[in-house]
């Protein structure tokens, strides 16, 4: 039985990816924050062609629970063939600059919890010599900007971790996809001015689903033009870069 598990199953991008991959899975599992109502998201995935959609509790910040959640999904539904890590927080940059608790909150969810779950999934899939994992990095982590350095540093850590893990998994049969979108216009960025080469959750999901189905390099830039832009960004003087907006 083919299982698609989306960790962060109420996120816009996670749901869009699930909708695009639903037809290839026997079961789609939406792992959501305990107490969340994922009825609407589950119905959307069913309408997209999923044979079965199940909802399970998942608290990303409860690191000790990760292995049990993954094991529970596999015990009930079978081996996870594709896992999508779609959870995360943007955080409050202004608050983080004066409140270390906000820094820890962002880093825990956007880096530590991601690295923990990636490790659990990799060690679960490696003995089977098969499986696909999707991690969502960001161009914010390619060169961290002063305007959002807390979120950016978390993504920089995740990007480095996922890149190293992808290399470690090379030849194992497990495929780790690293999605690197730019500014995504959606709930998380509501009220913010879109940056250059912005995308929508639908566009991000299109690129990710295409890479999962067709294969290719580990890193997917969304849109592709950002790869060129950030190749240039590496050479921008620090005095100029620190004035760059989010």
Length of the chain measured in residues: 246
Report CA-CA distances (Å) from 137 to 7, 12, 28: 15, 16, 23
Which of these, 189, 186, 213, lies nearest to 201 by C-alpha position?
186
Which of these, 140, 151, 158, 82, lies nearest to 166 by C-alpha position?
158
Q: Let me know if 149 is a catalytic residue.
A: no
Could you say which of 87, 151, 183, 221 is catalytic? 151
CA dihedral over 221, 151, 69, 10, signed as positive or negative: negative
Distance of alpha carbon 112 from its chain centroid, rounded? 13
Which of these, 211, 223, 216, 204, lies nearest to 14 by C-alpha position?
204
Residues taking part in catalysis: 151
């Amino acid at each position: 039985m083919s299982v698609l598990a989306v960790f962060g199953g109420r996120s816009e991008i996670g749901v869009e990816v699930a909708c695009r991959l639903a037809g290839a899975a026997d079961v789609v599992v939406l792992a959501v924050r305990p107490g969340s109502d994922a009825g609407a998201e589950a119905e959307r995935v069913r309408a997209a062609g999923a044979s079965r959609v199940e909802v399970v509790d998942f608290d990303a910040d409860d690191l000790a629970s990760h292995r049990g959640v993954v094991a529970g999904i596999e015990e009930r539904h079978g081996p996870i063939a594709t896992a999508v890590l779609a959870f995360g927080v943007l955080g409050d940059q202004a608050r983080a600059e004066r409140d270390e608790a906000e820094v820890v909150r962002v880093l825990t969810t956007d880096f530590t919890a991601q690295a923990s779950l990636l490790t659990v999934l990799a060690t679960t899939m490696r003995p089977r010599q098969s499986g696909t994992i999707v991690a969502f990095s960001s161009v914010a982590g390619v060169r961290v900007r002063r305007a959002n350095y807390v979120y950016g540093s978390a993504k920089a850590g995740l990007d480095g971790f996922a890149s190293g893990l992808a290399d470690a998994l090379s030849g194992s049969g497990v495929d780790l996809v690293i999605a690197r979108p730019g500014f995504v216009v959606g709930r998380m960025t509501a009220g913010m001015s879109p940056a250059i080469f912005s995308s929508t959750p639908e566009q991000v999901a299109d690129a990710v689903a295409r890479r999962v189905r067709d294969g290719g390099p580990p890193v997917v830039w969304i849109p592709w033009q950002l790869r060129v832009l950030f190749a240039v960004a590496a050479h921008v003087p620090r005095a100029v870069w620190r004035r760059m907006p989010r």
